[in-house]
């Protein structure tokens, strides 16, 4: 059982690279959404600057000649806000794609031309203001377009990135599913099953017997054991070889498996010894099953070998039994069956009494 607990750790070594990649993707996703949010704010600010410059110009050139101080202050604030940031953070780190100083210079030039226009509202100065306003708009608009391009390119990249993220997640799930199906199930099976007959092995049976003894003692119920052994099995190996001997063991396990009930636990206990635990079963019922097994084995045509027989011992659990006492008793019943001529079933009750 300890081995069974240790081996599944191998699954983690299989998926560690995928888990690391998945973790990196999650981090990148977080950075992406932070950048996307910041870039959206930049686009909004640049769009506001672009529109405000046009509104400022219209207000300054209007016949009412109302000086657009609130608009001018807003534009100054937006430009200054980004210019005062460190170079690495200015416009959320994307300042390498455009020069905000250029926009600031043209904006200051526009304000100077507006002042000149107010002093001399001639058509020449009006055209100068309009021309400089267009230059400011073009510069601001180019920044907006570039920033939108960056966002679109980033979004396109993350579309492909999302596909790889999904594939990576699918691969992890697939590996775990395959590991559970083929590796863990194989490990679990090999830990509790006999490799030759594919029925339970002695180690698993010992644990199950201890559990059943505790349950029967707690609930004050009965269970029975049947131990069986192939008669003259050494003669089978010597005559037909170990290959046929292995076949005989597997065939015998199949015969017993078909005779027992679903709730009964069949295990290979030793070389040619098998044992059956019958939960909630009285001795009389166990004897009937033992006889049915004996008759089925005797009637079964083993390939090349022909007929084989078995000897069986049967006993019933008593409330003061432990694992050693009940196994000793059923083994003694089996030994008695062999002593009394083989191909028979013998019963020993608690206290050593024969049935």
Which residues are catalytically annotated?
A: 272
The two structure tokens encoding residue 30: 């977080």
Instruction: Round to whole Å and give the CA distance between 325 and 276.
Output: 16
**Distance linking the first and last C-alpha atoms of the chain:** 38
Residue in 170, 173, 103, 104 with CA at minimum distance from that of residue 139: 103
CB 212, CB 204: distance < 8 Å: no
Instruction: Round to whole Å and give the CA distance between 251 and 253.
Output: 5
How far is C-alpha 322 from the chain's CA centre? 42
Residue in 10, 161, 127, 149 with CA at minimum distance from that of residue 57: 127
Q: List C-alpha distances in Å: 202 to 197, 206, 225, 321.
A: 12, 6, 14, 19
Beta-bridge partners for 193: 200
CB 61, CB 117: distance < 8 Å: yes
């Amino acid at each position: 059982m300890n081995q069974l607990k240790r081996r599944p750790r191998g699954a983690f070594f299989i998926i560690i690279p995928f888990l690391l990649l998945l973790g990196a993707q999650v981090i990148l996703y977080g950075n992406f959404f932070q950048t996307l949010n910041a870039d959206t704010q930049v686009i909004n600010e640049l769009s506001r600057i672009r529109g405000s410059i046009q509104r400022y110009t219209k207000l300054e050139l209007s016949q009412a000649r109302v000086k657009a101080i609130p608009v001018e202050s807003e534009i100054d604030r937006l430009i200054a806000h980004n210019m005062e940031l460190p170079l690495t953070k200015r416009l959320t780190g994307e300042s390498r794609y455009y020069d905000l100083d250029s926009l600031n210079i043209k904006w200051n030039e526009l304000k100077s031309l507006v002042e000149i226009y107010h002093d001399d509202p001639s058509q020449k100065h009006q055209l100068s203001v309009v021309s400089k306003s267009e230059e400011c708009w073009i510069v601001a608009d180019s920044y907006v377009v570039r920033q939108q391009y960056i966002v679109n390119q980033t979004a396109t990249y993350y579309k492909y990135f999302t596909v790889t993220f999904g594939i990576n997640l699918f691969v992890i799930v697939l590996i775990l599913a395959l590991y559970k199906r083929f590796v863990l199930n194989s490990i679990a099976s090999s830990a509790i099953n006999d490799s030759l007959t594919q029925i339970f092995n002695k180690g698993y049976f010992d644990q199950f017997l201890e559990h059943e003894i505790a349950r029967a003692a707690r609930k004050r119920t009965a269970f029975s054991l049947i131990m069986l052994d192939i008669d003259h099995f050494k003669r089978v190996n010597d005559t037909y070889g170990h290959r046929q001997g292995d076949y005989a063991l597997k065939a015998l396990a199949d015969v017993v498996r078909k005779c027992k009930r679903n709730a009964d636990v069949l295990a290979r206990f030793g070389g040619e010894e098998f044992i059956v635990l019958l939960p909630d079963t009285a001795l009389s019922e166990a004897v009937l099953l033992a006889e049915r097994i004996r008759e089925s084995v005797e009637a079964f045509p083993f390939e090349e070998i022909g007929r084989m027989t078995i000897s069986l011992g049967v006993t019933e659990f008593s409330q003061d039994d432990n694992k050693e006492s009940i196994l000793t008793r059923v083994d003694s019943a089996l030994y008695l069956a062999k002593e009394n001529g083989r191909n028979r079933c013998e019963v020993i009750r608690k206290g050593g009494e024969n049935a």
